[in-house]
C-alpha cells in the first residue's frame, strides 16, 4: 500500500518531493486537482467535494493506506468531515491527515506570529484558533496573499519580490512567519531575504519529520506500506505551465498522467 498526497496543484508536488528525503523508500502516489485550481477561490462545499473525491481515488485506485491532504485550504474545509463521516463509512482501517496542526505546532513558541495564506485559509481563522488551543495570549496576524498561487503556477517569478514585499509590509515586525500554503515554499528563500530577522515556518520543512514521527507511532499503518520507492504523479488537468513548473521543481522531466476523479 502507498502513501498518498492530495493537493490542488503544484504545492503538493513540493510536499511530496520534501518527504522523499527521509521517507523515499516507501511507495507514493500524488494527485493534484489542477482542473479546479485555485481552491482558495472555491466554496467550502466544492472544496469538500473535490477533496473527498481525490482521497477516494487515491485509496480506491492507488491503494493508499494513508493520505496527506497537503493543501491548507482543503485541510481546513474538508479534513474533519472526511475523518469523522466519510472515512469510517468507506475505509475505516485507513487514515487521512492534514497540514494545519503540524504547522502551527512549529510556530507556537513565538510571541508575535504572522501568517500568509489564501483568502479562504485566512478567512477561516483556523490557524489562530488552533494556536490558541496550544498557546494562548500570542499575538497573531494573518494576511491573505491571493496572487501568489497564480504566480507560482504560471511562472510569474519576476513579479514576486514586489508583490510579496507589499503583502508582508503590514506584518514586517513578526518574530515568526508561517507560510500557510504548500505552494509558498517555492518563495521561501525570497521571503527570508525580505524578512531577514523573522523565523520562517515552511511546510516542506515541517511535513517530513512530522510524517516520519506519525509512522513510528502508528505501526498498524506503517507496517502496511510497501517499500519499492515507487512514484505516481497524477493531475486532473494537464497544462504546459504545470509540466514546466514540475520539471523545474524536480530538476528533470517526470512522468505525469492526467486522471479523472
Q: Which residues are catalytic?
A: 71, 181
The 10 Å Cβ neighbour count of residue 207 is 24
The 10 Å Cβ neighbour count of residue 109 is 13
Grid coordinates in use for 39?
481552491
Q: How far is Cα 169 from Cα 39, in angstroms, rounded to an integer?
A: 25
Cα torsion angle, 130, 99, 84, 37, sign:
positive
User: Are 147 and 116 spatial neighbours (Cβ–Cβ below 8 Å)?
Assistant: no
Grid coordinates in use for 210?
512530522
Decide: residue 192, CB within 10 A, 0-12 exposed, 13-18 middle, 19+ buried: middle
Amino acid at each position: 500500500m502507498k502513501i498518498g498526497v492530495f493537493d490542488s496543484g503544484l504545492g503538493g508536488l513540493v510536499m511530496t518531493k520534501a518527504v522523499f528525503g527521509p521517507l523515499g523508500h516507501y511507495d507514493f502516489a500524488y494527485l493534484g486537482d489542477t482542473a479546479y485550481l485555485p481552491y482558495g477561490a472555491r466554496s467550502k462545499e466544492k472544496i469538500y467535494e473535490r477533496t473527498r473525491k481525490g482521497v477516494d481515488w487515491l485509496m480506491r485506485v492507488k491503494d493508499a493506506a494513508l493520505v496527506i491532504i497537503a493543501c491548507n485550504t482543503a485541510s481546513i474545509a474538508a479534513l474533519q468531515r472526511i475523518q469523522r463521516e466519510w472515512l469510517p463509512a468507506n475505509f475505516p482501517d485507513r487514515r487521512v491527515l492534514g497540514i494545519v496542526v503540524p504547522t502551527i505546532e512549529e510556530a507556537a513558541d513565538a510571541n508575535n506570529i504572522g501568517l500568509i495564506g489564501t483568502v479562504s485559509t485566512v478567512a477561516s481563522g483556523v490557524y489562530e484558533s488552533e494556536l490558541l488551543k496550544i498557546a494562548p495570549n500570542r499575538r497573531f496576524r494573518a494576511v491573505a496573499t491571493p496572487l501568489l498561487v497564480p504566480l507560482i503556477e504560471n511562472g510569474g517569478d519576476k513579479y514576486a519580490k514586489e508583490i510579496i514585499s507589499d503583502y508582508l509590509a503590514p506584518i514586517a515586525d513578526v518574530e515568526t512567519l508561517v507560510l500557510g500554503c504548500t505552494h509558498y515554499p517555492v518563495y521561501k528563500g525570497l521571503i527570508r531575504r525580505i524578512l531577514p530577522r523573522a523565523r520562517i515556518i515552511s511546510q516542506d520543512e515541517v511535513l517530513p519529520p512530522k510524517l516520519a514521527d506519525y509512522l513510528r507511532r502508528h505501526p498498524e499503518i506503517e507496517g502496511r506500506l510497501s517499500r519499492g520507492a515507487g512514484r505516481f504523479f497524477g493531475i486532473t488537468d494537464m497544462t504546459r505551465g504545470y509540466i514546466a513548473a514540475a520539471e523545474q521543481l524536480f530538476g528533470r522531466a517526470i512522468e505525469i498522467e492526467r486522471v479523472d476523479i
